[in-house]
Amino acid sequence: MNPSRQGLLFGVAAYTLWGLFPLYFRLLESSSTLEILLHRLVWTLPLCLVITRVSGAARELRTLLRDRRRVATLAAAAGVLAINSGCYVYAVNSGHVIEASLGYFVNPLVTVALAVLVLRERLRPLQWAAVSLGLLSVAVLTVDYGRPPWIALILAGSFALYGLIKKQVGGDVGALAGLTTESLALGPVAAAGLAVYVSTGHGTFTDDAPWHPVLLAVGGVTVASPLLLFAAAARRIPLTTIGLLQYLTPVLQLLIGVLLFHETMPASRWSGFVLIWIALGLLSADGLRRRSAEKAAAATAPVARGRQVG
């Protein structure tokens, strides 16, 4: 199988797993959001250490751990991702899967906004139109919900911030080494927090053995597997393809919320989602047009250089 097809399969698998997570978290609704989050953080660390050992990435990990600046940056990224994960679990188990899907639809627009505010990038006309429509959709949904869609905004903002922080680490840091470093930063803290939580009599790990303990322990797999699949995809397929695949996750979440969990979706809420989809269409069109222009420029560059030499 050629690398592009492999990358496409890895990408579809990653975003499908992220999109199906509401089904997994609903199986754990007898546990609190905090307990589920702590178990996910705790079980991710040994899993990453085992994979690092088996895959031969231990040397890269040791090199990374000597770089204090990068370790601190990855620790910050891990903290932001923990906020995102906790908010997502809360959304699912409090009956807000549709609002969670909105967060991941809005995420690309927040990423563009962060690029302007933090990286001082300049927006192109279609990007301006997309961001403006995104703001309008949030206003429409605020009226519909009777409050700002806080869950969606926290999910979109935290995931966009996670991507921005990870970008500061540098592209030469492998996905496994980076994830293991993040797990090393939060794993011990999560283990201590879980010990305190259980000691107060609130833990559910031993309930309904063996299935409930197994489901909680699988939390580490749910963290690591889609992130590693995504990293494998990103190395093999263009960023524009990744950008289109990312919509698979919120589409699946929306379908689960509407069709399986029967959450309310009035016409006014649909109108807000339609505005978001139009905005994402504009954003995708801008990305495709820019990539076409870059390809055309790359193709004409050798010809231009040849004429200059001649």
Residue listed under structure tokens 């509407």: 258
Give CA angle at 174 (171, 179), nearest 5°. 115
Of 43-47, 116-120, 303-307, give the lowest mean pLDDT range.
Answer: 303-307
Q: Quick one: pLDDT band at residue 292, thresholds 50, 70, 90?
A: confident
Token pair in block for residue 118: 């933090």
Does residue 60 contact residue 174 with C-beta atoms inside 8 Å?
yes
DSSP class of 1: -
pLDDT tens, position by position, 134-143: 889 989 999 9
Cα separations in angstroms, 201 against 4, 42, 74, 196: 50, 19, 33, 9
Cis peptide before 266 (omega within 30 of 0): no
CA dihedral sign, ordered 68, 71, 76, 79: negative
Q: Quick one: pLDDT band at residue 25, thresholds 50, 70, 90?
A: very high
Rg value, the chain, Cα: 21
Distance, CA of 190 to CA of 159 (rounded, Å): 20
pTM, rounded to two decimals: 0.87
pLDDT tens, position by position, 47-91: 999 999 998 889 999 999 999 999 999 999 999 999 999 999 999
pLDDT of 307 = 60
Q: What is the 3-state secondary structure (H, E, C) of 133-155?
A: HHHHHHHHHHHHHCCCCHHHHHH
Distance, CA of 281 to CA of 293 (rounded, Å): 18
**Percent of the chain surpassing pLDDT 90:** 52
Residue listed under structure tokens 């592009």: 4
CB neighbours (10 Å) of residue 265? 13
* pLDDT averaged over every residue in the chain: 87
